Amino acid sequence: MTITPDDARALDRDDPLKDARRHFDLPDGLIYLDGNSLGPPPVQAKAAIQRCVETEWATDLIASWNSADWMGLPLRTGARIARLIGVSENSVIAADSVSVNIFKLAAGLLNAGLKGVAVERGDFPTDGYVLEGLSRLSGTPFAYVEPGAGAAGLPDGVQVLVKSAVHFRSAALADIEAEERAAKTRGAAIVWDLSHAAGLVDLKLAARGAKYAVGCGYKFLNGGPGAPAFVYCDPDLADGFSQPLSGWMGHARPFDFADGYDPAPGVARFGAGTPAILSMTALHGALEAYEGVDMAAAEAKARALGDLFLKAVDGLGFGLACPGPGEARAGHVSLTHEDGYAIVQAMIARGVIGDFRSPDILRFGFSPLYLSYEEVLRAAGILREIMDAESWRDPRFAARKAVT
d(CA 62, CA 69): 11
Residue type, 30: L
Residue type, 6: D
Q: Catalytic residue among 96, 123, 193, 234, which?
A: 193
Q: Active site includes 144?
A: no
61 by Cβ neighbours in 10 Å (0-12 / 13-18 / 19+) ranks as: exposed
Question: For residue 173, what is the DSSP state?
Answer: B
**Do 219 and 191 contact (CB within 8 A), yes or no?**
no
Q: Catalytic residue among 124, 318, 370, 373, which?
A: 124
Q: Active site includes 384?
A: no
Distance of CA 140 to the CA centre of its chain: 28
Q: Which residues fall within 8 angstroms of residue 77, CB to CB, at 6 or more apart?
A: 94, 228, 230, 280, 283, 284, 287
d(CA 310, CA 335): 9
Q: Catalytic residue among 163, 211, 219, 303, which?
A: 219
Q: Catalytic residue among 142, 218, 290, 397, which?
A: 218
DSSP readout, 260-329?
S--BPSGGGGG--S---HHHHHHHHHHGGGGTT--HHHHHHHHHHHHHHHHHHTTTSS-EE-S--TTS--
Instruction: Please name which of 312, 233, 314 lies closest in space to residue 267, comparing C-alpha atoms.
Output: 233
CA gyration radius, the chain? 22
Q: Active site includes 220?
A: no
Q: Active site includes 218?
A: yes
β partners of residue 356: 362
Q: Which residues fall within 8 angstroms of residue 237, CB to CB, at 6 or more apart?
A: 211
Q: Active site includes 32?
A: no
* Residues involved in catalysis: 124, 193, 218-219, 363
